[in-house]
Structure 1
Amino acid sequence: MPALSSRLRSIRRLIAVAAVSYGLYYVAAAQNQQIYLPNPTPRDPDLHDKYKEDPLEKVRQQQAAQLRKAQVRQQVAAATDRLVRLAQQLKDEMEKGDKGSPLSVSAQKAAEIEKLAKTVKNSMKSQ
């Protein structure tokens, strides 16, 4: 029995030492964190980084962007014209009210009008 109690005491001491060591390590690690301090003297940006792009390349990119925008505007205008034509045709067919005309043709035109309207809307958003 005395050997068992001395063994328990040594285990308790070992656990206590491990807990204290862990606590001290945790506190020391928290205090040792590096804090970022910015450079107190500001400098001008490096001229190489500022002017590393080729001015001609920038002009080419701007021209390509303008060309793409013009093409999108042209496509939107064409789609809008087609949309107006289809809407007018559908309106005329509905005003006639022909019983003999199939509804599937009107439904197809309505679906195409809806599709064109979505296309125009998305194209206008992207500009």
Structure 2
Amino acid sequence: MPDFFYDRKLYYTPIEFALAHIGGTWKMPILWRLQNTILRFSELKKDIPHITDKMLTSQLRELESKGLITRKVYPTVPPKVEYKLTEKGQKAIPVIETIMKYGYKLIKEAGIEYPPLE
């Protein structure tokens, strides 16, 4: 596979390029939660309890800059901001679902009880 430059970064494969868009710990969980609904920052934060405010803000900005989500700000006090998937973001959902199913399979093969009992 030939390598290529995009936005001053060298990519070696299309996989690496795709993961630059949806990879990491938090991007896929954010996209997954937005697949059928519009959510506010606080709703995303409640649904992803281990993410910090700073990290959620950072990941939302990255997803918006990549064109995977849109951000709508309402001129109210306090400000109301909503996030939703774009058409490009919707196209990532089947990929995320496939990765999630593979993850469940690996968890089962490792003998891990999931979700863990509390």
**TM-score bracket for this pair, using the shorter chain length:** under 0.3
Q: Greater share of strand residues, 1 or 2?
A: 2
Q: Greater share of helix residues, 1 or 2?
A: 1
Answer 1 or 2: higher relative contact order, Cα 8 Å, separation at least 6.
Answer: 1
TM-score between both structures, scaled by the size of structure 2 = 0.27
Larger radius of gyration: 1
